[in-house]
């Protein structure tokens, strides 16, 4: 982790500078410009498993990231009903010609409780999909969980997440921020700004203070 004095000079407030969010998004765009074949193969495997009839049209797919698990120590968990309400609002923005098409919701979460609750509380007409690893209940240490095979499956699920045009995220979570950064800098430029996002728990890490200083200390997003 760099000291504040070595952070890039372009990251500063005001004219001629860029925000931390913009800088991090550009960094993620660079890192993901080439994806390992193993990750692509894993994403394709997940698509075949959870979308046996093929991926829905991007306008008929809403991506939801529910970060519960150990995140409650840093960020207040967002209730499932809040996600559902935002999905209901987002689907009203679909093009008129797709308004009557079935709605698909892709839920990205590591917490099996969150997935069960989302399925239970969603309207019966919604088609709920999920892939990627789930933690055993009671085991919430993400540092130990997101490695090896689980890490590969998580990256595969990340690529699947980007198939949607509409996103409900909690940017207080690193994973939601990563999804949003790739949405803005990779997906949107390719589709002419076709995506939209709702943030239910704003957050930024690292953080730019009012005087332009960059700090890696944060109460959320770690």
- Each residue of 101-149: pLDDT tens digit? 999 999 999 999 999 999 999 999 999 999 988 876 665 555 565 667 8
* Neighbouring-strand partners of residue 170: none
Answer yes or no: are the C-beta atoms of 200 and 172 closer than 8 Å: no
Instruction: Report pLDDT for 209.
Output: 64
* Neighbouring-strand partners of residue 61: 104
Q: What is the pTM of this model?
A: 0.81
Structure-token match 């079935």, residue found: 102
The residues, ordered by sequence, that sit 6+ positions from 190 with a Cβ below 8 Å of its Cβ are none
Structure-token match 């925000």, residue found: 19
Instruction: Report pLDDT for 222.
Output: 39
């Amino acid at each position: 982790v760099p000291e504040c004095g070595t952070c890039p000079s372009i990251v500063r407030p005001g004219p001629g500078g860029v925000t931390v969010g913009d800088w991090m998004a550009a960094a993620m765009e660079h890192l993901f410009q080439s994806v390992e074949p193993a990750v692509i193969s894993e994403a394709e495997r997940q698509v075949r498993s959870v979308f046996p009839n093929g991926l829905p049209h991007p306008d008929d797919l809403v991506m939801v990231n529910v970060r519960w698990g150990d995140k409650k120590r840093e960020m207040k968990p967002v209730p499932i009903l809040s996600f559902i309400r935002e999905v209901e609002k987002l689907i009203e923005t679909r093009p008129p010609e797709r308004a009557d098409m079935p709605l698909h919701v892709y839920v990205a979460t590591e917490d099996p409780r969150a997935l069960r609750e989302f399925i239970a509380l969603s309207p019966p007409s919604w088609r709920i999909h999920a892939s990627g690893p789930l933690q055993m209940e009671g085991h919430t240490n993400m540092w130990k969980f997101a490695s090896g095979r689980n890490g590969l499956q998580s990256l595969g699920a990340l690529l699947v997440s980007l198939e949607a045009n509409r996103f409900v995220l909690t940017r207080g979570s690193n994973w939601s921020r990563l999804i949003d950064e790739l949405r803005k800098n990779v997906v949107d430029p390719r589709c002419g700004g076709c995506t939209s996002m709702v943030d239910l728990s704003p957050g930024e890490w690292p953080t730019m203070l009012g005087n332009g200083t960059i700090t890696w200390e944060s109460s959320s997003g770690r």
